[in-house]
Structure formats: structure tokens, C-alpha cells
């Protein structure tokens, strides 16, 4: 089963998830959901090619940052990065 998206928080955690779990070797950064939360499309070699992967630093600025990110991912038409990149098939 392919998830619609994945959010990881923390530098080491995000790296381990990306490299070890998702097998990402290349990705395209298409924008940000929230400050400090870049949106990646994973490369063709990854476990889920063209997958939306969002990384947040361990010190994401506000308590509701992750909540807002999930809301945007569930409704990408309202996300500014989706408008710029053309969105994705969710």
C-alpha cells in the first residue's frame, strides 16, 4: 500500500526515514508547507517514486505547525507549493 504522504520531524529521524526506509537517493524540493518544512518529491529509485515527503526540523516553530502541514497535505489545492508546482495526484 502506498501512503499519500509522509512527514518526518528531526534531522537524524528525517535522514533515517528518507535514506533507510524510503531509499531516497534523489529528490526534488518543490516548496514549503510551513516555514522549515520543505516538500520533496522522491526520485525514481525510491521505494515510492514521486512520493510527497515533508521534513521538519526538531524545533519546528509553533505547536500547531505539524497540524497545519497535515491539513495542507490533505487539501493540496489550498497549499501555495501545490499551486506553484501543479499539485499532485492524491
For the chain of 90 residues, list the mean pLDDT of each consecutive stretch of 10. 90 93 93 83 93 84 79 75 48
CA distance 52 to 44: 13
CA distance 58 to 43: 24
Report pLDDT for 89: 45
Report pLDDT for 32: 84
Which residue ranges form the domains of the chain, and what is each CATH number?
5-78 (3.40.980.20)
- pTM of the shown model: 0.78
Amino acid at each position: 500500500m502506498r501512503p499519500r504522504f509522509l512527514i518526518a520531524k528531526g534531522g537524524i529521524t528525517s535522514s533515517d526515514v528518507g535514506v533507510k526506509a524510503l531509499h531516497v537517493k534523489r529528490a526534488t524540493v518543490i516548496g514549503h508547507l510551513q516555514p522549515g518544512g520543505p516538500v520533496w518529491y522522491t526520485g525514481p529509485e525510491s521505494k515510492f517514486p514521486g512520493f510527497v515527503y515533508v521534513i521538519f526540523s526538531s524545533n519546528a516553530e509553533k505547536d500547531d505547525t505539524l497540524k497545519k502541514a497535515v491539513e495542507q497535505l490533505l487539501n493540496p489545492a489550498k497549499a501555495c507549493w501545490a499551486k506553484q508546482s501543479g499539485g499532485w495526484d492524491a
